[in-house]
Amino acid sequence: MLTEQMILEALKDVQDPELHKSLVELNMIRNIQIKDNVVSLNVILTIQGCPLKAKIQQDVTDALHAIGATDVHLQFGSMTDEERKQLTQSLKKQNTTTEGMPTMLRPNSGVQFIAVTSGKGGVGKSTVTINLAVALARHGKRVGIVDADIYGYSIPTMMKIDTKPTMIDQMAVPVTAEGVKVMSMGFFSKDNQPVMWRGPMLNKWIRNFLVNTHWGELDYMLLDLPPGTGDVAIDVAAMIPQAKEIIVTTPHNAASHVASRAGVMAQHTKHQILGVVENMAFYETPTGELNYLFGKGGGDALAQALGTDVIAKIPFAQPEENTGSSVYDEDSAVGEAFTNLAEDLLY
């Protein structure tokens, strides 16, 4: 005979798919009734219209069938404003120290921060960010991306993300795509409107992305910085002194010359430079011939100037299958290059 305690034990392993916490821990399971192994209960969602309601329903049903329930009847409700406020406060308490600093920024948090930067736009910095993040996720790592290019946000479009973060009171739950958690100004700007802010507002939003977002447990956080050495790059350097940097350039000497400024800034801020990624390094024809569309030597020259190495040379290619996404298949030449880069960082 099933008991209420058996029901709760079975559902301790069922998680809210966005918060990644037990439904029981979140007090989302209520009003349990059992009659002849037929179970009825209420599931109280964080918000009305929860986008993953169907998955929660399936997971709860499967868990109860597994312990002998012959039939399961679920009724869904949503938390009150006060309950959402309390949940937000609880999540924020877990995310921040007593001084209000995000716990992930502690040197011993276990989260590795990688800032991806460049001297100028148009060199594929965001392409490197998302494909490295996806490659790390394919290796089983828990990865997040902060699209810190507030003026030139592009990550949601490049990853073909058409949903927005779930908001629980003032706490955002990042969108997950390709196994990577993502936060971007692009989720909050209507109709592709430009962002016209001065430095203090930029700092505030970067801090919001770290403090008021429920990231859960992460192994890697990648920050797609705006090109150059402006306010955001300076703020990130001060906010995350333990971050390491990847400098992105193309083979063109002018691009690498400009990128050297971003590298010198990293040296001034004591950020470790992981290395240089030379994007669009060459184009390989179907016959195996290599065409150097943007010249040669820019990445090597930049690495030499910064006293580091070229850690990847990414071929020029279009993503396969005409999906519109800038995430490359792991079996493609570009995908393999990012897999190798991820493995070099991991091992």
Rounded-to-10 torsion of CA 256, 262, 268, 273: -70
Domains along the sequence of the chain with CATH? 4-79 (3.30.300.130), 103-346 (3.40.50.300)
CB atoms closer than 10 angstroms to residue 91: 21
CB 320 within 8 A of CB 331: no
* pLDDT for the residue numbered 119: 79
Mark out the alpha helices in the chain (DSSP H runs). Answer: 4-11, 53-66, 81-95, 125-138, 155-158, 199-211, 231-239, 253-268, 298-306, 333-346
Instruction: Count Cα neighbours of 329 within 13 Å in the Cβ-side half-sphere.
Output: 11
Cβ contact 69:58 at 8 Å:
no
Question: Which residues of the chain have a pLDDT value below 50?
Answer: 196-197
The pLDDT of residue 252: 86
Residue 119's nearest CA partner among 312, 287, 315, 302 is 302
Give the model's pLDDT for residue 172. Answer: 86
State the CB neighbour count (10 A cutoff) for residue 51.
12
